[in-house]
Copies of this chain bind each other. A is one copy, B any other.
Amino acid sequence: MNKTLSPRQKEILRYIREFSAEHGRPPTVREIQKALEISSTSVVDYNLNQLVEKGELRRNRNISRGIELTEPAPSLRDDTISVPIVGTIAAGAPIEVPESLPDPHVWGDTVDLNPSFMDLRGDGLFALRVKGYSMVDALIGDGDIVLMRHQETAENGETVAVWIESERTTTLKKFYNEGSRVRLQPANVTMQPIYADPTDVAIQGKLVGVIRQLGR
């Protein structure tokens, strides 16, 4: 099978995209025919079937406007990434880091990040809502939303969520590996660092952003 699209097929595909974006519904066979000045509906039908075979779209037989684009259209703005808010961090409670993210539909909430102010890779990102003031020393307060990336190692200087086994808590601190020990430095410069044995800490993820809304 030839995978390349004929000029007419490209034209039709482009028109379907345009029309869908503008009207919120796909065009009919005849709307395509008129708009592109094609002589017969059967020609449109033929090329639509070709586009189906070439994997560009799906058709639902005997259903009006039964055209579905395979690439689900650029509905979300170009490069915004949706980050699921997977839960809540409360004071002292361990941060639950989801092993694998469930179906998109079960996320009640997402934050949609626009690269104009936060430039992030989309993979492995998740967000948590902060409850309480357990992380004031990281300049994070009640109601904030923290953006995290799932990872189990850290470079020096990165702010990470670390599980401290001996104290059975998770906190957000700047991470420094000093060989025999790790230094966990609060983001707030007026506060003192704490030191821990490397075997006593487990990195849960890296903090990549904080979002806080107070009023409107």
Enumerate chain A interface residues (CB-CB to B < 8 A): 20, 23-26, 28, 64-66, 68-69, 72-73, 75-77, 80, 82, 110-114, 116-121, 133, 136, 139-141, 144-145, 149, 158-159, 187-190, 206-216
Residue in A118, A119, A215 whose Cβ sees the most chain B Cβ within 10 Å: A215
How near does chain B come to A58, taking the closest CB pair, in angstroms? 10
Task: Contacts A26-B25, A65-B65 given; indicate if A117 touches B121 (C-beta within 8 A).
Answer: no
> Which residues of chain B are near A112, meaning CB under 8 Å?
76, 114, 116-117
CB–CB B24/A189 < 8 A: no
Q: Which residues of B contact A158 (CB under 8 A)?
A: 214-215
List residues of chain B with CB within 8 A of the CB of A187: 141
Would you mind naming 20 contact pairs between A and B with Cβ atoms under 8 Å apart?
A24-B68, A25-B26, A25-B68, A28-B64, A64-B64, A64-B65, A65-B65, A80-B114, A82-B116, A110-B117, A111-B116, A112-B116, A117-B145, A119-B216, A120-B216, A139-B212, A158-B215, A207-B215, A209-B212, A210-B212
Main secondary structure of the interface of A (DSSP, over half): loop
Whole-angstrom distance between the alpha carbons of A89 and B193 in the complex? 27
Q: Which residue of B lies closest to A69 (CB)?
A: B24
Complex contacts, A116 vs chain B, CB 8 Å: 82, 110-112
- Bound form: Cα–Cα A121–B216 in Å: 6
**Which residues in B have their C-beta under 8 angstroms from that of A215?**
149, 158-159, 206-208
Residue in A26, A139, A149, A209 with the greatest tally of chain B CB atoms within 10 Å: A139
Whether B118 pairs with A213 at a CB distance below 8 angstroms is: yes
Task: Note all chain B residues with C-beta closer than 8 A to A64.
Answer: 28, 64-65
Closest residue on chain B to residue A119 by CB atoms? B216
Contacts of A141 in B (CB 8 A): 139, 187-188
* Nearest residue, chain B, Cβ from A212: B210
Q: Is the CB of B24 within 8 A of A72?
A: yes
